[in-house]
Structure 1
Amino acid sequence: MAKKHVKIWYDAEGDYLEVIFEQRPGYFRETETDQVMEKVDEEGNVLGFSVLRVSTLKQAPLAVAR
């Protein structure tokens, strides 16, 4: 079985975090939380997510319904 890698990228200047589970074509779509976008493929499978204003999460955790 091939190993899968999760790619995590943080941009401190932009206060932006991106986590990618699978490196495949897809697009980001909005979630019910303004700070979070999810990356999905054409079938709607989640490939990853991004979080804006990550530094604001020091005060309280962020939750997104699935």
Structure 2
Amino acid sequence: MGKEIRMAYDDEGDILDISMGDPEKAISKEIEDDFFLRVNSVSGEVVGFSILNFRKWFKDAKDIKTLPIKAELAVS
């Protein structure tokens, strides 16, 4: 069974957060400028990610609430 995916956008901070599964303690690792993975510090499982300066990266996104998301997550 897949985990529920939650999306939250902070308009003032221009940050998009995506979480997978129930909220849990995690550490953030910057993988590219403005892109962070959230990883469970015990299991090493990816539990979410954040995109800072979202509008800079996705200029054509007119309405974040209707943004189509197609994702594939592979962790090695």
Could you tell me the TM-score, scaled by structure 2's length?
A: 0.65
**Offset at residue 24 of structure 1 (A):** 2.0
Unaligned runs of 5+ in 2: 61-74
1:27 maps to 27
How many residues align? The count is 58
Query: Which segments of 5 or more consecutive residues in structure 1 lack a partner in the other structure?
Result: 60-65
1:2-57 superposed Cα distances (whole Å, 9 cap, x missing partner): x73211110111110000002222111111x1110110012321100000000012
Q: Structure 1 residue runs of 4+, over 3 Å off? A: none
Q: Which residue in the other structure is 1:36 paired with?
A: 35
d(CA) in 2 for partners of 1:14 and 1:26?
Answer: 21
Q: One-letter code of the match for 2:26?
A: G
Structure 2: distance between partners of 1:27 and 1:36: 13
With a CA cutoff of 8 Å and minimum separation of 6, indicate the structure with the bigger relative contact order: 1
| Identical positions, percent | 31
Name the counterpart of 2:55: 55
RMSD: 2.0
